Amino acid sequence: MKRFEQKLAPFMLPPGTRVGPWKVKAYAGGGAYGLVFRAVKVGEEQAGDVALKVACYPGDERFQREVVLLSRVEHPSVPRLLDHGEWQPPRGEAHPYIVMGWVEGLALYTWAEWRNPSSRQVLQVLGQVAAAVAATHAAGGVHRDIKGGNIRVDLEGARAVLMDFGAGTYEGAAPLTKGALPPGTDAYRSPEALEYVLQRPKDATETYAAQPADDVFALGVCAYRLVTGWYLPPLEVKPGEEPWHLEWRAPKPPVEMNPRVHPLLSELIVRMLSRRPQERPPAVELAEALELAARKAGSGADTPLFHGAEPVEAVESSAPVRSHVSAQQGRTAPAGRESARESNRAWAAYVACALFGAAVSAVAVGWALWPERHARQGEVSQPTQGKALREEEPVGLGDTGLKSPAENVQGAAGSRPASRLVPQTPLKDQRRAPHCLSPVEVTINGGCWLEAPTVKPPCRDPFYEWQGGCYMPSFIRQRQPTSEPP
């Protein structure tokens, strides 16, 4: 049987499935090479939930490498390895699995959207992540896929955790990647990694060897994206004569992009994004510098970073988030201002129930597939997920690489957030005219939309703006479940 025909699917491990001594409770997310489930240990259910990660393919060597790396790194901001083994499905070969401590929290950019943090809070969160990176480097490892979707933060910002070591490696590990670049996400690649692709001979077989400085640069991209709402400007390729070279343009300091960013935080981010790897601070020094800046920064560091948003208060909730963490997503509005998200979700649930009896599915699909935000001209808006929301899929296990220098390096640094106006054509999987259900649905630009009379512009996800009102796209009911647990 061919490899792709053996790929594991979530429905193959329904709730109640035994994987070693662990019992599946719910599917929590997945990527190209691994599925994550919320689980408990049989007979010790009172001990709490764990994250059970099962390989999509039998005998996947990436899982053994992740086990070795996690067993070497002990840090409060790194998931704790609890168990590993092989699960034998009813048919076919055994699939490796890993069990880790369950982490409560939100993806980094989602946390910033909900919390609208201050520079001091960002310094504290980045300091914890940098300390986790330093512990990884001290153990001889490199994470290789640090990005917003692989960092989880509780709503108050008291705890940050670096997740998904599936793309990582360590000294002496056998190479598993074929291609110019190891696993990773292109928007967070260091300049030296991208330039390696340009200068690599066409007949070369070696793969770029990621270094600790690559992780520091990737964390710098996270920080820049977090405090400004933008990725770095695209790198340009200078063709000329081979080998090609990158035309490096240093990004503007964050404080110039967003005057609310404290100068100490801006300076540290600039250092992380230095063109030359030797000019970036080692992770252990970076962690110390971030923690020191958080303590010594003046009152200006307590100003919320973004206009048009107020932090929400944390309350108990069982609402899940994508990937292998759950979230305590606070939705209690600040005094004097009703939460727009509460109104949005309540209206979406009412209309969707009337149409399909599945409100959660409609909102989840809209949230997952069209995450771009609207950035109003002339002001710094709250950080937007944009491309970053899609990062919450644990794609770090996949072997990725640039297809060609000109095609990939230009777009490797990411893109800017798109407008949230109603698009000119229907979205993917959106219901279309003439099948709109009047009078509940209205037709706009050929697509079916649900008006939200209690929501006013500016319209945030999952809503779009049209002629002074906010509307949610009406999607075709999905046959397959979303990546969120029910």
pLDDT of residue 238: 59
pLDDT value at 10 more than 50: yes
pLDDT value at 156 more than 60: yes
Yes or no: say if 154 and 161 are a contact pair by the CB < 8 Å rule: no
Residue 333 resides in a domain: no
> Could you tell me the CATH number of the domain that includes residue 277?
1.10.510.10
Contacts with 339 (C-beta within 8 Å, 6 or more apart), sequence order: 312, 331, 332, 333
Residue 61 resides in a domain: yes
Q: Are 27 and 128 members of one domain?
A: no
Last residue of a domain, one of 81, 101, 121: 101
Residue 241 resides in a domain: yes
30 confidence band (pLDDT: 50, 70, 90): confident
Residue 396 resides in a domain: no
Q: Are 65 and 194 members of one domain?
A: no
Distance in angstroms (rounded) separating the CA atoms of residues 151 and 186: 17
Q: Are 82 and 119 members of one domain?
A: no
Radius of gyration for the chain, computed over Cα atoms and rounded to the nearest angstrom: 23
Q: Are 197 and 228 members of one domain?
A: yes
Q: Are 296 and 345 members of one domain?
A: no
Residue 411 resides in a domain: no
Beta bridge partners of 464: 471
Yes or no: say if 98 and 67 are a contact pair by the CB < 8 Å rule: yes
Q: Which domain holds residue 369?
A: 340-378+420-479
Share of the chain above pLDDT 70, in %: 71
Residue 362 resides in a domain: yes
Q: Specify the pTM.
A: 0.66
pLDDT of residue 357: 37
C-alpha triplet 138, 143, 144: angle, nearest 5°: 135
* DSSP state at residue 322: S
| 140-149, 229-238, 353-362: range with highest mean pLDDT | 140-149
Q: Are 59 and 151 members of one domain?
A: no
Q: Are 287 and 358 members of one domain?
A: no
Q: Are 94 and 17 members of one domain?
A: yes
Q: Are 112 and 228 members of one domain?
A: yes
pLDDT value at 39 more than 50: yes
Distance in angstroms (rounded) separating the CA atoms of residues 79 and 393: 17
pLDDT of residue 242: 55
pLDDT value at 237 more than 90: no
Dihedral angle computed from the Cα positions of residues 360, 361, 365 and 367, in that order, rounded to the nearest 10 degrees: 0
Q: What is the mean pLDDT of residues 91-119?
A: 92
pLDDT value at 374 more than 90: no
Distance in angstroms (rounded) separating the CA atoms of residues 413 and 191: 10
Instruction: Express each pLDDT in 58-84 by its tens digit.
Output: 988 889 999 999 999 999 999 999 999
What the block records as the tokens of 64 is 């053994």
Q: What is the 3 state secondary structure string of 128-178?
A: HHHHHHHHHHHCCEECCCCCHHHEEECCCCCCEEECCCCCCEECCCCCCCC
19 confidence band (pLDDT: 50, 70, 90): very high
Q: Between 461 and 225, where is the model more confident?
A: 225
Instruction: Express each pLDDT in 434-457 by its tens digit.
Output: 777 776 788 888 888 888 877 777
Distance in angstroms (rounded) separating the CA atoms of residues 108 and 193: 24
Instruction: Express each pLDDT in 388-416 by its tens digit.
Output: 333 433 333 333 233 333 333 333 333 33
Residue 147 resides in a domain: yes
pLDDT of residue 311: 52
Q: Are 163 and 266 members of one domain?
A: yes
Share of the chain above pLDDT 90, in %: 41
Beta bridge partners of 81: 100
Residue 407 resides in a domain: no
Q: Are 226 and 358 members of one domain?
A: no
Q: Across all residues in the chain, what is the average pLDDT?
A: 75
> Could you tell me the CATH number of the domain that includes residue 72?
3.30.200.20
Q: Are 95 and 113 members of one domain?
A: no
Last residue of a domain, one of 101, 133, 148: 101
Yes or no: say if 191 and 248 are a contact pair by the CB < 8 Å rule: yes
Last residue of a domain, one of 58, 81, 101: 101
pLDDT of residue 199: 79
Number of domains, the chain: 3
347 confidence band (pLDDT: 50, 70, 90): very low
pLDDT value at 481 more than 60: no
